[in-house]
Structure 1
Amino acid sequence: MNREITNSIVITGLRKSYERSPGSDAAYAIDGISFDVPKGQFVTLLGPSGCGKTTTLRCIAGLEHATEGRIEMGGEVVFDAQEKRHIKPEERPIAMVPQSYGIWPHMRVVDNAAFPMRHGRHRRKGPEVRQRALEMLEQVGLAGMADRWATQLSGGQQQRLALARALLGDPEVLLLDEPLSNLDAKLRAKLRQELRSFQEQFGVTSLYVTHDQAEALAMSDTVVVMNKGRVEQIDRPERLYDYPRSSFVADFIGSANLFPVRDASPGRGGAVLAKTDIGPVLCARSAPGQDVQSHNGGFVCVRPEDVEVRPGGTGATPAENEFAAVVESSEFLGDRLELVVRSAGIPITVSTRASLRCHQGMEVLVRLDSTSTSHLAS
């Protein structure tokens, strides 16, 4: 009896090392990572440059040989270091959209799109190839450019062509390596919506690589945050933002104020009372799986939008989670005001309403919203 396949990709204990000088220890580009990509979902590998996300993608594609670990696709083992099993890239049920799009400059648009049908795993012949390619180009808005040379397309049009070509290979898994990074900000925002729409329309499992937090949060069902070759956290975008497991995740996903904790104890209602250099901070949130006993040390994390500001000075009495501060800088950004205030020598970033009147040197009180303030163990 065939078991139902719920995960299109299963990565187990994957390592990739690069030799240093003779006699020295190997350097790991990826170091024992494990995660699943559920069938039909959009999963993103997110992290800074050099964290191992592209190396992971290339191992999944078969373009790199991992040193250790195992990769399954659709229930089939395509790589197993221990058993010395390595399925060739062209035999894996994948299509890949690289950062440079990989468009053939000597071919017309329709021939670029038709390439995987003529030369891929599921080869076809005859007029149906061109007809199927034209239908796909219609869906991505390029039908009117089918007979142009690929070099006559704009960057955004080339990105759509690369996606159309990948989908015409009928892949079980679509691998995307920072395909929007060469585009300007406004076009990138538009195309990420289109890309997610296409993925949902065709129902293809997708694994996306980016260092752009906004892309990851906007497009993904699940985000795998990587750092120094290891997985820091795997979660839904909203959980990553609201419940980071570490100071690295908190600081990398969006913007965060991080205050080192000198000591901590249980507070009321299951909260944590953390002693910091700006004073005692009540934190209602903790990282998932973190118990009260692990609260000593670590960091208090509060997002700039969860910091309130009100006039301070003589006679102003701080309330709970409220601290006297002085405005260091004020930046008007149209829809909001970005402040940097300093309390007990500690800078705090604040994102507040644009109508607030603040100027450099002004004395204020800043309040950290305890319901949105987290304590992180590391």
Structure 2
Amino acid sequence: MKATTPSPSGSVLIEGLRKSYDRAVKKGSAYAIDGVSFEIPQGSLVTLLGPSGCGKTTTLRCVAGLEQATEGRITMGGKVVFDSAGGRIVRTEDRPIAMVPQSYGIWPHMTVLDNAAFPLRHGRHRMPRRDARTRTLEVLEQVGLAGMADRWATQLSGGQQQRLALARALLGDPEVLLLDEPLSNLDAKLRVRLRHELREFQQRFGITALFVTHDQTEALTMSDTVVVMNSGVVEQIGTPEEVYDFPRTAFVADFIGSANLVPVELASQDTAGDVLASTAVGTLHCGRRTAGSTGTQGEGGFVFVRPENVEVRRLEATDDPGDCDFTAVVESAEFLGDRLEVVVGAAEVRITAFARSGSGVRPGDRVGVRLDPASTSYLAS
């Protein structure tokens, strides 16, 4: 593998990572991750996002050294910690990392202080017991647990245990913090609060972090960069705004948020360079250009639009649809407080839209449907 320019202190570079669980890798071997490459700039939080079994946790474990990759190269702070071609493998305990696992790994027979102080007493940066206690209390103060230092760890709530696991990780003075779905065991309201706290701590300490989750909301609200994975490969890398508004594939569009994907029979370009997509419900105007969809003329592909960019208005039997793209019938309408989530159907195509809660749209109503061209994209096959 071609060597690259060393990354700055605290940054991480993953190149061509592959992992097979076959004892002897041969032609036809299955790979849990296949050619995964991305960078984590110093001080940023990068999230691996994808469904169960997509390879995100395997990637994290390879970065941690808990799994040995079959091929590839991992660089941390300018130092190579794994290189299959050069035969270099740095042990987990010698890598400049700390990890917060899904279960937190809190020891029930220790106090809060002893749990947090463990890296200072037994890790890479050991210090005298008195100094370790002082430093630990400082960090516990920053995460709001100083008043609980002498409690048994089992006396903490789930959110407090998450903060304790984070404090212990930070006391290891890592260059890279690895977070393996640390919020998944918490109730919905607590997850919302702690994801803000976790992001605040990461930014306050200026630590480089790799976060693994299957929760799209966590990825969109916490990340500097999102790496979307599917079946062991990277589908797209971008900012939260990029992967949400400009998905490169139908998988990314469908997995992140709520998406409408209308099959395209034939696509062509108009004089302005926008795509006119022929579909079962008529010709739809796609004014948004999506990176990766280079084929803007031909058969196949999808029209992609988010529900918030679909307008639905109730029509009387004698009404002219006017500037609507097509007419449809409301199949369901769910009240969500601030809006209605409406599913309409036409020509075996289903479209989800958000309507005002007071719009009066009900199942069985005839409606006009319009897709905002400025927010509608064509995804090539």
Q: Displacement of 1:52 after TM fit?
A: 0.1
CA distance in structure 2 between the aligned counterparts of 1:181 and 1:317, rounded to whole angstroms: 50
Distance 1:77 1:357, change over 3 A: same
1:152 aligns with 2:155: yes
1:57 aligns with 2:57: no
Distance 1:356 1:161, change over 3 A: same
Q: Does the 8 Å CA contact 1:47/1:227 hold for their aligned counterparts?
A: yes
One of 80, 84, 89 as aligned partner of 2:87: 84
Query: Which residue does 1:106 correspond to in 2?
Result: 109
Distance 1:333 1:195, change over 3 A: same
Q: Does the 8 Å CA contact 1:286/1:376 hold for their aligned counterparts?
A: no
Q: Does the 8 Å CA contact 1:17/1:30 hold for their aligned counterparts?
A: yes
Q: Displacement of 1:82 after TM fit?
A: 1.4
One of 8, 16, 28 as aligned partner of 2:11: 8
1:183 aligns with 2:169: no
Distance 1:8 1:295, change over 3 A: farther
Query: Which residue does 1:203 correspond to in 2?
Result: 206
One of 285, 302, 314 as aligned partner of 2:305: 302
User: Mind listing any 5+ residue stretches in structure 1 that lack a counterpart?
Assistant: none
1:34 aligns with 2:30: no
Matched to 2:188, the amino acid is A
One of 336, 352, 357 as aligned partner of 1:354: 357
Q: Displacement of 1:61 after TM fit?
A: 0.1
One of 359, 365, 369 as aligned partner of 2:368: 365
Q: Displacement of 1:83 after TM fit?
A: 1.5
Pairing 1:160-175 to 2, within 5 Å after superposition: 160-175=163-178
CA distance in structure 2 between the aligned counterparts of 1:4 and 1:73, rounded to whole angstroms: 7
Q: Displacement of 1:123 after TM fit?
A: 1.2
Distance 1:130 1:23, change over 3 A: closer
Q: Does the 8 Å CA contact 1:250/1:301 hold for their aligned counterparts?
A: yes
SS of equivalent to 1:69: strand
Query: Which residue does 1:221 correspond to in 2?
Result: 224
- Percent pairwise identity: 66
Q: Does the 8 Å CA contact 2:18/2:71 hold for their aligned counterparts?
A: yes
SS of equivalent to 1:286: coil
CA distance in structure 2 between the aligned counterparts of 1:73 and 1:314, rounded to whole angstroms: 66
Q: Does the 8 Å CA contact 1:62/1:89 hold for their aligned counterparts?
A: yes
Query: Which residue does 2:294 correspond to in 1?
Result: 291
Distance 1:228 1:248, change over 3 A: same
Query: Which residue does 2:235 correspond to in 1?
Result: 232
Q: Displacement of 1:66 after TM fit?
A: 0.4
Matched to 2:52, the amino acid is S
Matched to 2:242, the amino acid is R
CA distance in structure 1 between the aligned counterparts of 2:54 and 2:7, rounded to whole angstroms: 33
Q: Displacement of 1:328 after TM fit?
A: 0.8
Distance 1:4 1:251, change over 3 A: closer
The answer to which of 283-292 and 142-151 deviates more is 283-292
TM-score between both structures, scaled by the size of structure 2: 0.95
One of 319, 337, 341 as aligned partner of 2:344: 341
- The aligned length equals 377
The answer to which of 360-369 and 215-224 deviates more is 360-369
The answer to which of 318-327 and 15-24 deviates more is 15-24
Q: Does the 8 Å CA contact 2:7/2:13 hold for their aligned counterparts?
A: no
Matched to 2:22, the amino acid is E
1:127 aligns with 2:160: no
Q: Displacement of 1:320 after TM fit?
A: 4.8
User: Mind listing any 5+ residue stretches in structure 2 that lack a counterpart?
Assistant: none
Distance 1:139 1:22, change over 3 A: closer
SS of equivalent to 1:27: coil
Q: Does the 8 Å CA contact 1:104/1:150 hold for their aligned counterparts?
A: yes
One of 66, 70, 76 as aligned partner of 1:67: 70
Q: Does the 8 Å CA contact 1:224/1:231 hold for their aligned counterparts?
A: yes
SS of equivalent to 1:375: strand
CA distance in structure 1 between the aligned counterparts of 2:68 and 2:140, rounded to whole angstroms: 34
One of 269, 272, 275 as aligned partner of 1:272: 275
Q: Displacement of 1:244 after TM fit?
A: 0.3
Q: Does the 8 Å CA contact 1:30/1:228 hold for their aligned counterparts?
A: yes
Q: Does the 8 Å CA contact 2:311/2:370 hold for their aligned counterparts?
A: yes
CA distance in structure 1 between the aligned counterparts of 2:223 and 2:141, rounded to whole angstroms: 25
Q: Displacement of 1:317 after TM fit?
A: 2.9
CA distance in structure 1 between the aligned counterparts of 2:272 and 2:92, rounded to whole angstroms: 54
Q: Displacement of 1:20 after TM fit?
A: 8.2
TM-score between both structures, scaled by the size of structure 1: 0.96
SS of equivalent to 1:285: coil
